[in-house]
Structure 1
């Protein structure tokens, strides 16, 4: 047990030093020791390992101020890459992510509703190989592969416990993907991955408590507290789309009646719109609303009301300092963000909490899950290597 604890502390110290250099470079060894409380010897040992492995280098710059001058440490951003994957009902996106969370390249592919898990996993492996070959990336530079997808995920085991949108249940995604690619694989809920990327690289930099809410093919949320993803006992924290708002309401695709998302998500809105006239896309639905068609105005206005209620519920539960709206509906229809923000301020956010948080849009948009998934794979790599 003692050796296990020592090994764990070594991994955590290594990850801490790595993250500080990555986020604050150029930086001196002395500054790292001061921030972490580690001894100068421990910091020098970790820095030596990271330098020898080619992840960092000593800069010719020297620290400013009084006293002894010291060389500064910088990250070699291209020394390690990871693969980030986003899976959704109709598409899959795959990209290469560097140490700073920049996407080196990315590709998006269509996906059929009824595509099996085996087919999807095989396609991810094939596309990954093609991407590395096309961009002449040596496999030894790849730290691992991360996948973000909708649903409940056992992130410790890399198992997709249940995903309504993908139609998957108990799929050992990480194990299968590792077998096919040869890379360690991490799997997590897509909004948790995106929340992490927004915290590290996007709209929520500097936030201590970030709530991210996604509106699109589903409805969900994720919370970052002091830089860590809040998961709950089953990693299902944030599944607000399946909270019940009307026990006698519409049947959700999860099999339960009256779920919140049945009043907001794309498939529910299009299904209800087709009771009035043939509508093929959300673009057509919004065009009908802009043309003043009463049924379309009603459907969208009702969805905006429930979006605002969702924001209020999340704010009341978690008291975040930042709330980020994201998802396909927010990305494609910018007016939604402004209208929900206005509704929250005027009607729906509980008065004592009104103005207590920053109201933000995602800055990373469609790249957020790729970046977050890739960064999760890197975090594991540098903690365990």
Structure 2
């Protein structure tokens, strides 16, 4: 047998092994027979692969829940006890580190305040040292640490593993992957927080059984990620999905990107607080917010609470935010035609007000009757979206399928 043929046979074996593992991750608990039927692989081949995966502690047999006579199929599921992932969310104000299993169940979580007086390299080194301390416990228990997923805002070069520009931190060209790998000796993958959040939705959230949808995050910034054919759609210049920097109002406020009237300047947390404070200073009243002695002490949580309690001033602002988001969503739907859009981030706290207004704009401006009905759903991962998203970078890498047609 020629060497290239032998390599291709080995690649096909790897593909089938990954296909079985991915099927168990997506659909477990699932029996050997169900796996064989689902992926059209022979039952003996599935059984052989399952034995290997059990030995390698990727999966485990579970007790059968059906109690009837005869031999019962044994359910298989991911082994949650023997392998973990570190998720690192580098936020604008704080960094969160989690350890989770392959089912995205969080086993450990800690927040680390960002020290703006330290150089970015020093901050990453410090985070690496903290991760070493955290993972040591798992290593002592012979639990495999599979890697570190890093999600952060701004522009990210995923191939080189570095941040290009994080406007809310002021970081540029920080070699995050290299620094963390040198300190922790673990595999490190990095992407922007919108892409990592979309992966979280695809593996563990609203998009678990779908391959074409868009995830939109709205909080201190606004961004989107497009899942197309089960993969993140990425452009050539690291700016794909920057819906927050699409101009909605050419005469609107100055944006951090240097343009005017970007969607982010009209819908982000910062924009909301600025608008509420301006209206209050101009004499408009809020029966809830006016209870605060100092307007400058107003927080975004105060605004969300006021909206949900029916405060007229804040409701009007929330409805306007929904309409502006609707303009951004219209662009996404007309360009990409997703099956649905998942809304994540802190603004989901007022989704009952936002979504009806988003839908009114979509139904008015989107082309095509079916597209006008594109559902808008809120993330099921809530406050864990960013951290689970970071960990999902490793999940995606572990369970991705090799190319069986690859030539050598």
Could you state the TM-score of these two structures normalised by the residue count of structure 1?
0.84
1 CA distance for matches of 2:301 and 2:46? Answer: 55
1 CA distance for matches of 2:347 and 2:353? Answer: 13
1 CA distance for matches of 2:61 and 2:320? Answer: 57
Q: 1:353 to 1:341 in 2, by over 3 A?
A: farther
Equivalent residue, structure 1, for 2:286 = none
The answer to whether the 8 Å contact 2:85/2:394 transfers is yes
Q: Is 1:310–2:342 an aligned residue pair?
A: no
Stretches of structure 2 lacking an aligned partner (at least 5 in a row): 282-294, 403-408
Equivalent residue, structure 2, for 1:157 = 160
Q: 1:121 to 1:75 in 2, by over 3 A?
A: same
Equivalent residue, structure 1, for 2:260 = 257
Q: Kindly report the root-mean-square deviation, in angstroms, between the aligned alpha carbons of the 2 structures.
A: 3.4
Equivalent residue, structure 2, for 1:325 = 343
2:231 counterpart (221, 228, 233): 228
Q: Is 1:27–2:34 an aligned residue pair?
A: no
Greater shift, 10-19 or 82-91, is seen at 10-19
Superposed, 1:219-368 pairs within 5 Å as 219-275=222-278, 277=281, 278-280=295-297, 281-285=299-303, 292=312, 299-330=317-348, 334-335=349-350, 337-349=351-363, 350=365, 352-353=369-370, 356-368=373-385
Cα distance, 1:148 vs. partner?
0.9
Could you state the TM-score of these two structures normalised by the residue count of structure 2?
0.80
Cα distance, 1:274 vs. partner?
4.9
2 CA distance for matches of 1:273 and 1:171? Answer: 36
The answer to whether the 8 Å contact 1:83/1:145 transfers is yes
2 CA distance for matches of 1:193 and 1:175? Answer: 19
The count of residues paired between Structure 1 and Structure 2 equals 379
2 CA distance for matches of 1:253 and 1:299? Answer: 22
1 CA distance for matches of 2:328 and 2:270? Answer: 18
SS in 2 for 1:147: strand
SS in 2 for 1:338: helix
Q: 1:263 to 1:71 in 2, by over 3 A?
A: closer
Q: Deviations over 1:113-145 (max 9, x none)?
A: 565322331232233233334677647510001
Stretches of structure 1 lacking an aligned partner (at least 5 in a row): none
SS in 2 for 1:252: coil
Equivalent residue, structure 2, for 1:374 = 391
* Structure with larger Rg: 2
